[in-house]
Amino acid sequence: MRFMVLVPGSPESEAGEMPSTEILGEMTKYNEELVKSGVMLAGEGLHPTSRGAKIRFNGSERIVIDGPFTEAKEIVAGYWIWECASRDEAIEWLKRAPFGGGVEIELRPIFEADDFGEQLTPELREANERLREQATQN
């Protein structure tokens, strides 16, 4: 199953400030662990909204609104794409991320083609059940 993890912006990210060396170091270590566990497929940081734009759609009208946008909390500053066996595994990975200060990081499953998803999900659920049964029998 594929997941997108959305990292929200902050006044600092919106101001284009780079995180401290310490935070960058922790994040690099975390990313390394994701890669070495075969979980991370992609991940990028986004420039501040001052360099972006919005387009409002109204009938045939297109209105371009230049950044920056207000409400830093609702702004996405970066994302990861992960491949995990289950939502629980993705949650377990996200719990290990080096964030703090009350920030909330959002985890969202990515839609997959129905035939693919249907085959994968019930099987995995069943597999987890069995692993648990087996483990408790030991």
Partner 1 sequence: MSPSATHRAIDAVWRIESARLIAGLTRIVRDVAVAEDLAQDALVAALEQWPESGIPDKPGAWLMATAKRRGIDALRRRVVFERKREQIGHELEILQQLDRPDLAAQVDDVQDDVLRLIFMTCHPVLSRDARVALTLRLLGGLSTPEIARALLVSEGTVAQRIVRAKRTLAEARVPFEVPSREELAERLAAVLEVIYLVFNEGYAATAGEHWIRPALCADALRLGRILAALMPREAEINGLLALMELQASRLRARVGPHGEPVLLADQDRARWDHLLVERGLAGLRRAEELSGALGPYTLQAAIAACHARARSVEATDWSRIVALYDGLAALTGSPVVELNRAVAVTRAFGPEAGLELVDLLVDEPALRGYHLLPAVRGDVLVRLGRSAEAREEFERAADLCGNDRERELLLSRAIACSAS
**Residue numbers at the binding site for partner 1 (CB under 8 A):** 32, 35-38, 41-42, 81, 83, 85-86, 88-89, 91-93, 112-113, 115-116, 119-120, 123-124, 127-128, 130-132, 134-136, 138
> Cβ closer to partner 1: 106 or 116?
116
> Cβ closer to partner 1: 47 or 130?
130
Residue 40: other Cβ atoms inside 10 A: 19
User: Cα dist. 102→8, 21, 45, 78, 98 in Å?
Assistant: 12, 21, 20, 17, 12
- The nearest distance, CB 88 to partner 1, in angstroms, is 4
Could you tell me the two tokens for 46?
């986004």
> Cβ closer to partner 1: 60 or 138?
138
Spatial CA neighbour of 67 closest among 114, 9, 112, 138: 9
Determine the Cα–Cα distance for residues 120 and 116; give it in Å rounded to an integer.
6
Task: Please compute, for residue 106, the number of CA atoms within 13 A of its CA located in the half-sphere on the CB side.
Answer: 14
- The nearest distance, CB 118 to partner 1, in angstroms, is 10
- The nearest distance, CB 33 to partner 1, in angstroms, is 9
- The nearest distance, CB 119 to partner 1, in angstroms, is 6
